[in-house]
Structure 1
Amino acid sequence: MTDLMETLIENREMVQPNHANNLEVTHGGNVMKWMDEVGAMSAMRFSGETCVTARVNRMNFERPIPVGDTAFITAYVYEAGTSSVKVRLITEREDLRTREREKTTESYFVYVAIDDDNMPTTVPELTVSTEEGERLREEAIEGENGDL
């Protein structure tokens, strides 16, 4: 069994000009790629297996991330099935000089754990042993159900 808090991963990507669109803000495809990578890390940390993306449950781009800021990405597993792993992903725009952050993007990804033959394999049971973990899990379930 793996606890939710053990799956929590935070990562930063510095937004460079090559990540930007013609409005000098991060191209949405780059944000999605970064989120997918961090989400897969969380799913693999949870399952102990290689995980591949199976589904993206909507991708809400609420505000842009300008060149020069960082994309601060948080991911954690909040639910698991037999071979599937649900991960909540939140991206925030972060100004490293002021440490100011604001949410820019949120999504819910489903990954599938695979074995050496690229076939689905079982994942452990998810446990939640802290109040913080329970709060994160409840937020994820509410958000996944459309209460963003």
Structure 2
Amino acid sequence: MTDLIETLVENREMVQPNHANMLGTAHGGNVMKWMDEVGAMSAMRFSGETCVTARVDRMNFERPIAVGDTAYITAYVYDAGDSSVKVRLITEREDLRTRTREQTTESYFVYVAIDEDDRPTTVPELTVSTEKGERLREEALEVESST
């Protein structure tokens, strides 16, 4: 069994001009790619297996991330099936000079754990043993059920 807190992954990507659209902000496709990579890291920490993206449940782009700001991405596993792993992903724009953050993007990805033959393989049971983990799981399930 793997605890939710053990699946928590946080990563930063500096938004460079080559990541930007014609408005000088991060291209949505780049943000989605960064989120997918961090989400896969979380799913693999949980399962101990290679994980591939199976589904993206909505991708809400709420605010842009300007060139020079950082995309601060948080991911954690909040639920699992036999071979599937559900990961909540939140991206915030971060100004490194002021250390201020503001949420820009939220999504829920489903990954599938695969074996050496690229076939689905079982994943462990998710446990939640801390108050922070319980709060994170409840937040994710609440949003998931409202869709």
1:138 aligns with 2:143: no
- 2:26 corresponding residue in structure 1: 26
TM-superposed CA distance for 1:144, in Å, is 1.6
TM-superposed CA distance for 1:146, in Å, is 3.0
- 1:116 corresponding residue in structure 2: 116
- 1:8 corresponding residue in structure 2: 8
Q: Distance in 2 between matches of 1:56 and 1:145?
A: 15
Q: What are the equivalent positions in structure 2 for 1:35-114 lying under 5 Å apart?
A: 35-114=35-114
1:59-111 CA deviation, whole Å, 9 max, x = no partner?
00000000000000000000000000000000000000000000000000000
Q: Distance in 2 between matches of 1:3 and 1:72?
A: 23
TM-superposed CA distance for 1:52, in Å, is 0.1
Q: Distance in 2 between matches of 1:146 and 1:71?
A: 26
Q: Distance in 1 between matches of 2:144 and 2:27?
A: 24
SS in 1 for 2:51: strand
SS in 2 for 1:139: helix
Q: Which runs of no fewer than 5 residues in structure 2 stay unpaired?
A: none
TM-score using structure 1 length: 0.98
TM-superposed CA distance for 1:143, in Å, is 1.4
1:15-35 CA deviation, whole Å, 9 max, x = no partner?
000000000000000000000
Q: Identity over the aligned pairs, expressed in percent?
A: 85
Give the letter for the 1:52 counterpart: V
What CA RMSD, in Å, does the superposition of the two structures yield over aligned residues?
A: 0.7
Q: Distance in 1 between matches of 2:46 and 2:5?
A: 10
Q: Which runs of no fewer than 5 residues in structure 1 stay unpaired?
A: none
Q: Distance in 1 between matches of 2:146 and 2:91?
A: 18
SS in 1 for 2:40: helix
TM-score using structure 2 length: 0.99
